[in-house]
Amino acid sequence: MFNKFSSEDVPAQNQVKASVQPKIPQSIAEEPPDVTPKRRLPWLTGIQLLSHTNQNQHFLPTGLQGIDALLGGGLRQGQVTEIVGPSSSGKTQVCLSSATHVVDKKFGVVLYLDTSNSFSPFRISCFVNQVHPYLPKELKERRLQTIMSNIYCQSVFDIFALLDLLRHVESTLKHSVKLGGSKLCLLVIDSVSSIIAPVIGGKNSQGWCMVASVGVLLKRIAYEHNIAVLVTNHMVGGENGTVKPALGESWKGIPHVRLLLSHSTGNDCGTVTVLKHTLMVSMHLHRHEIWFKWVVSFSILEHSSVLVESRT
């Protein structure tokens, strides 16, 4: 097999080498034509990243000034924000309020994934009327229709459906063309913990694998398509009677920002605390007292009057 080398063979060998070697990087670089091109994200310098962040990643308003102030402006596009809280502390209200205000300020379309049938169109109409209280009736009706037609709601009841849905959203976003501002800008999942909790724990670790998939998918959708993702989580009991957010340590790293809502019984005062934030470097938790005025001002009269108006 091996020829004895002589000085005449070397140029021949070199020739063969020279003819083959360029083909190797070429064949790595080129791809068969019938394949979707591999998306190579380019390397960015720090300055480029900063300018990209400042220009493209806007803050989406939640509608509640206190929470917006705490978040440094609102829900950041490209990041996953999580709201944790015990039962009936206002998590769904924050989600509904964010959806309304984001569409109202014309950032884009909102997709609301609902696991506990708590998406309430009536409540959204209340928020819309709060934002524009002084419009004449026909304008109000038209405004309501415009805003509510840009909020899409879908129910998910198990983790496989959620994974399918998120992948479908991702592929739709990859292939779709921006149609004059009607691009998805906020994805709300209320609540992600009720979908994930039945599959984690137990003897097999398949559930954790799916949790990791969900987390990676959410972060990828948020970053690559410049979308803000808002998820809610509930609390479970920890040791010594303390409460901690559900879904454990492995979910802790997935949201970029974590807010804790607590609601003291008896009065309408709620507290929002920042548990984790990418920009705030502090050892202590920030506590802000936020008056949930919109809970206080709700009344039955408003309920019936909104119904009458929307029917005409």
Residues 74-93 that bind other proteins (CB under 8 A): 86-88, 92-93
CA distance 251 to 189: 15
271 makes contact with other proteins (CB under 8 A):
no
Q: Distance between CA 135 and CA 15 in Å, rounded?
A: 82
Q: x/- binding map, residues 166-205, to other proteins, per CB under 8 A?
A: -xxxxxx--xxx-x--xxx------x-xxx-xxxxxx---
Contact 186, 228 (CB under 8 A): yes
User: Could you give the count of Cα atoms lying within 13 Å of 164 in the half-sphere of its Cβ?
Assistant: 8
Member of 69, 216, 279, 285 binding other proteins (CB under 8 A): 216
Question: Quick one: which of 105, 135, 223, 298 contacts other proteins (CB under 8 A)?
Answer: 298
The residues with which 78 forms a beta bridge, in sequence order, are none
Q: Does 28 bind other proteins (CB under 8 A)?
A: yes
Of 122 and 287, the one with the shorter C-beta distance to other proteins is 122
| 22, two tokens | 């360029």
Return the range that interacts with other proteins (CB under 8 A); candidates 53-61, 71-79, 142-150, 222-230: 142-150
16 binds other proteins (CB under 8 A): yes
- Residue 307 interacts with other proteins (CB under 8 A): yes or no: yes
Q: How far is the CB of 287 from other proteins (least distance, A)?
A: 17
CB atoms inside a 10 Å sphere around CB 3: 8
- Cβ at position 136, least distance to other proteins in Å: 20
Under rule CB under 8 A, residue 48 binds other proteins: no
Pair 247, 235: CB distance under 8 Å: no
Q: Taking the CA atoms of the chain, what radius of gyration do you get in angstroms?
A: 26
- Cα(55)–Cα(161) distance, integer angstroms: 34
| Using rule CB under 8 A, residue 33 touches other proteins | no
Of the candidates 72, 130, 131, 148, which one interacts with other proteins according to CB under 8 A? Answer: 148
Distance CA 73, CA 70 (A): 7
Using the rule CB under 8 A, is 236 a contact of other proteins? yes
Residue with Cβ nearer other proteins (37 or 46): 37
Q: Is 18 a binder of other proteins (CB under 8 A)?
A: no
- Is residue 250 close enough to count as binding other proteins by CB under 8 A? no
- C-alpha angle with apex 130: 96 to 270, nearest 5 degrees? 55
Q: Is 109 in the site for other proteins (CB under 8 A)?
A: yes
Q: Is 153 in the site for other proteins (CB under 8 A)?
A: yes
Give the residue, chosen from 246, 257, 259, 272, that forms a contact with other proteins under the rule CB under 8 A: 246
Please tell me the number of Cα atoms within 13 Å of 281 on its side-chain side: 0
CB atoms within 10 A of CB 77: 22
Query: Is the CB of 23 or the CB of 52 nearer to other proteins?
Result: 23
- Report the nearest approach of other proteins to the CB of residue 101 (Å): 14
Whole-angstrom distance between the N-terminal and C-terminal Cα of the chain?
92
Whether the CB-CB separation of 81 and 230 falls below 8 Å is answered with: yes
